[in-house]
A and B are shown apart, each in its own frame.
Chain A
Amino acid sequence: MSDGTKRLRNLLLTLGVGAIVAVALALVGGTGGAKLNDSLALFAIWGIAAVSLNLINGTTGILSLGHHGFMLVGGYVTALLILPEDARQRISSSARSEMTPFTLGLSVEGWFDALGLHVLTTPETLWVRFLIALFFGGLVAMAFGLIVGIPSLRLKGDYLAIVTFGFGEIIRLTASTSLFKPFTNGALGYSGVPSDFGKSLWWTFALLALTLFVMTKLKYSSHGRALQAIREDEIAAEAMGIGLARHKVMAFALSAFFAGVAGGLWVSYLSAARLDFFLFFLTFFFLVAISVGGTGSYTGVLLGVAVVVFVQQYGDPLERTYSLATWFGLIGVLILAAGIGAGLYRRDRRMRPVWHPLVLGLIGIGAATLLVAIVGQNWAMFDGTFQAFGMRRILLAVLLIVIMAVRPEGIMGRAEFSWAWLLRERKDQPSDEERAQDAWLSGSEMDKEKERARARSDDPLPRSLTEEESPGAHPLLERGTKPKSDGGRRRKRGDDEGSS
């Protein structure tokens, strides 16, 4: 298959799957339950935010922990601009309102009214106003992203992470001060934000697709390659002529823009804007999604977001009320699992599990606990029930700890999903383009002569050894042993030094 047909096939496959997804979404929107609808919308919204965070964390290799701050900015701006008239009336008539007439007058509808565009002030064209509000939210968040990006010029690694965390918290803490109260309405926030968009699968998934499109296009553009070069080695990247400052600030700004859009959708999803919707747990969830799915891989991040949303939406059985005996048994099962896991994890030289006495003791305690719970279901000490709020978050935290210890690059690593991978396409045949490049790159006729001679002779040595002998071997011959370009299996991830 030539390149052209392959590209056409991939495009057709993408479009076909997109059409199937669209039909499925339409069916869910029409007939699926509200919970499924909400979960999918949440997946799309958090997907936008996580993918945008991945631009900083995964592609550029800067750990940023202030994403909830950008989302807050975008969310509040969107909410303020789209807030319907009756909600504004309620705020202005409320005694506890912190808004001024000026800030209450900030609305896209009002602007269109002033411009005389009455077509765009009808309820039917709410989507136009919402898109404009989202865009403004993104822009303001982008401005904040530019500000937060500035310290990245001086700082690296964990210090920068703490500073971004500090910025995120500063944004949240100052949003309720008297300086910004007129814009955020203090601790009350806004209620009555139209939820037609945050809960609509069409809009959320369309924006997710747009975000993914922009991000993947960026990843494989020269700017994206520059960002990846910065992740791998800042000094080398700078030596190659990549402007560190420009690229890092650009990454922050773009990421903040999409975080602002996600914030706008999040506000619409919750149909209210309050400061406690934008706590650190959001950034933590995205961090889990990125780490689980694969740092630097956008499709992997979506996989991680699916995991997080699933745990968050369908993990509520974990937080129901159960009898104490059940909890006791659950703890026993956990201890048992931890013991067995620890025993299987540690292997001796022949890869047999090592059953250390401590591990055996752990297993014994777990089994005993489980036994007691089963035998003593009706004992007096197990009278009563218990409800464990926060179990889902604990599960996510444990997931993150385990992932960082066992597979720090995540499920997908840095590889992206591709049709070629799905169809098990062989990579050892060069494409037309690669052939052309090879022909151009291959050196003088003398080299080619040497190659032919080498190809004729039956070389007893393995390919790798001969390659090391002559680094100038023909690229066509190297093809079979060429290491994969994605660093998916590599453990090292943008090693970094502190700023000091």
Chain B
Amino acid sequence: MSKTAARASARRYPWGWILGLGIPLLVFVRIWYLVAVVGERELASFIGAALLSLQLGSLYALIALGYTMVYGIIRLINFAHGEVFMVGAFISYFLFTGAPFALPWALLWSIVVAWGVMFVLNLWRGRMADPVVLGGGAATLALLAVVLSTSPVNWLVAMLLSMLTTGVLGVLIDRIAYRPLRGAPRISLLITAIAVSFFLQNTGLIVFTRNQTPFRPGTAWTDFLQFDVAGGTVYTSRLVFLIPIVTAVLVVALTLFVTRTRLGKAMRASAQDAEVAQMMGVNVNRVIATTFLLGSMLAAAGGVLWGLNFGSLNQPAVMGILPGIKAFAAAVIGGIGSLPGAVLGGLLLGFLENFVTALFPRSGDFPGITEYKDTFAFALLIVVLLIRPSGIVGEDLSEKV
């Protein structure tokens, strides 16, 4: 009843237009007020805030894609996704700081990554005993063992290796923790996901570190950058180009994978109806494993970029929680189950956190709203869930994955 009523009222009132035009208008009025009337702030500071929002929003979008893909297929809020993101960041950290490893460690790492490569090739070729799969695995193993035991690794290679390793981790999590619960009530699955998240946090404390860790791979991309605009100076870093570009490349690659390949088609089919897809010959378990692989790879990329952006990694027990839950909020805001929705939601959340706090700066007795920044995601999540649970990109409009 409420659904039809909501639809009818949506037809009567063009809320999309009202909000889509009204909010930017309000923002411009506020900026004009702060810049021209009060005169406390320069236009350049808002441009800087917008760039920062874009940067952070891209990161949220990368993490949110993993949530939205997993939710689209097995209807699970993958609580452990934030921890997967943390693991990805730390793995790349250990790769580029300790790179010429002792041979046993290099071998161990190569075996894990080679297994990941074989898994990916297996998705494409269909069986493990295929020459391409075995050859790819063996080649990766040999090449990586040599490279890791002899030469240092730069951040980009570290990111790619970390993506593969973390992807394997995601597949393992699915295989060990979630797959025994296929068909169980969704709440049981969610509780298991919480347990996996808790497990990864504390294992990270043991395996990685207990302290905040500096993350400086020594690349020119983290250099500061400043330029003059509108009578002021914008202070930023080269990351303002790097992060959105990497995100865009990964999102485009993911979209191409989902829309253009057989496996992507199988993913879309499973998202629509897993049982029917299975009847049509789709190996749903393999599709789910692929989803976890891709989602975890994106999360690892997000983790590396996160480290570059902030210059340090928080300790493992807390690093994943807030970004993870915020990215989940972004996925819901955009419309969970939809790829463009996740990107849109991530960007929106980035702007809300950084741009809106810039709109209400500290002045006089008013302490500003920066200290409430972390609660915005939750507040928006609750509001969106209460008012429009299907998110911005509604269910029927979106392409589900």
Contact = CB atoms under 8 A, between A and B. Distances in A.
B117 interface: no
Contacts of A166: 325, 329, 377-378, 381-382
A159 interface: yes
Contact of A405 (B77, B180, B194, B382): B180
A61 B205 CA distance: 33
12 contacts: A63-B187, A161-B77, A161-B190, A169-B375, A288-B195, A390-B206, A393-B201, A394-B203, A397-B199, A491-B184, A496-B185, A498-B389
A280 interface: yes
Kindly list the 9 A-B residue pairs having the minimum CB-CB distance in the complex, ordered from nearest.
A166-B378, A390-B202, A397-B199, A400-B195, A397-B198, A405-B180, A393-B202, A404-B192, A390-B205
A181 to B, nearest CB: 10
Contact of A173 (B317, B332, B367, B375): B375
A408 B325 contact: no
Which of B177, B199, B203, B389 has its CB near the most chain A CB atoms (within 10 A)?
B199
A158 B186 contact: yes
A174 B375 CA distance: 8
A304 to B, nearest CB: 13
A163 B205 CA distance: 27
B386 A154 contact: yes
Interface string A460-500: 00000000000000000000000000000001111110111
B368 to A, nearest CB: 9
Given A159-B389, A388-B206, A398-B199, A287 B378 contact: no
Contact of B325 (A155, A158, A165): A165
A393 B192 CA distance: 14
Contacts of B142: none
Nearest to A285: B198
A158 B187 contact: yes
Contacts of B190: 63, 158, 161
A178 B184 contact: no
Contact of B186 (A155, A388, A400, A496): A496
Interface in B359-386: 367, 371-372, 374-375, 377-379, 381-382, 385-386
B185 A284 contact: no
A268 B229 CA distance: 57
A165 B386 CA distance: 15
B256 interface: no
B386 A151 contact: yes
B191 interface: yes
A232 to B, nearest CB: 12
Interface in A30-88: 61, 63, 65
A400 B367 contact: no
A401 interface: yes
A177 B376 CA distance: 13
Contacts of B371: 176-178
Given A159-B389, A500-B389, A397 B185 contact: no
Given A155-B386, A390-B205, A397-B199, A494 B187 contact: yes
Interface in B159-206: 177, 180-181, 184-188, 190-192, 194-196, 198-199, 201-203, 205-206
A98 B120 CA distance: 56
B202 A162 contact: no
A174 B373 CA distance: 10
A417 interface: no
B192 A493 contact: no
A167 B378 contact: yes
A493 B185 contact: yes
Contact of B205 (A151, A154, A169, A389): A389
Interface residues of A, number: 51
B144 interface: no
Contacts of B184: 404, 408, 491
A66 B192 CA distance: 17
A492 B185 contact: yes
Nearest to B190: A158
B109 interface: no
Interface string B66-90: 0000000001110000000000000
Contact of B194 (A159, A284, A500): A284
B372 A404 contact: no
Interface of A: 61, 63, 65, 151, 154-155, 157-159, 161-163, 165-167, 169-170, 173-174, 176-178, 280-281, 284, 287-288, 291, 388-391, 393-394, 396-398, 400-401, 404-405, 408, 491-496, 498-500
A170 B379 contact: yes
Nearest to A400: B195
B191 A287 contact: yes
Contact of B187 (A154, A177, A496): A496
A151 to B, nearest CB: 6
Given A170-B378, A389-B210, A500-B395, A162 B390 contact: no
Contacts of A159: 332, 385, 389
Nearest to B370: A177
A288 to B, nearest CB: 8
A155 B385 contact: yes
A391 B210 CA distance: 13
Interface string B38-82: 000000000000000000000000000000000000011100000
A284 B206 CA distance: 19
B231 to A, nearest CB: 33
A151 B199 contact: no
A372 B321 CA distance: 38
A401 B389 CA distance: 29
A162 B77 contact: yes
B385 A401 contact: no
A176 B370 CA distance: 12
Given A398-B199, A404-B181, A169 B206 contact: no
Contacts of B181: 404-405
A393 to B, nearest CB: 4
B189 to A, nearest CB: 8
B119 interface: no
A397 B325 contact: no
A61 B185 CA distance: 12
B328 interface: yes
Contact of A169 (B210, B378, B390): B378
Interface in B23-48: none
A227 B148 CA distance: 59
Contact of B196 (A280, A287, A397): A397
Contacts of A396: 198
A284 B201 CA distance: 13
A427 to B, nearest CB: 29
B385 A151 contact: yes
A157 B187 contact: yes
Given A166-B378, A174-B372, A495-B185, 7 more contacts: A65-B194, A155-B389, A161-B187, A162-B381, A398-B195, A404-B191, A493-B185
Contacts of A280: 321
Contacts of A176: 371
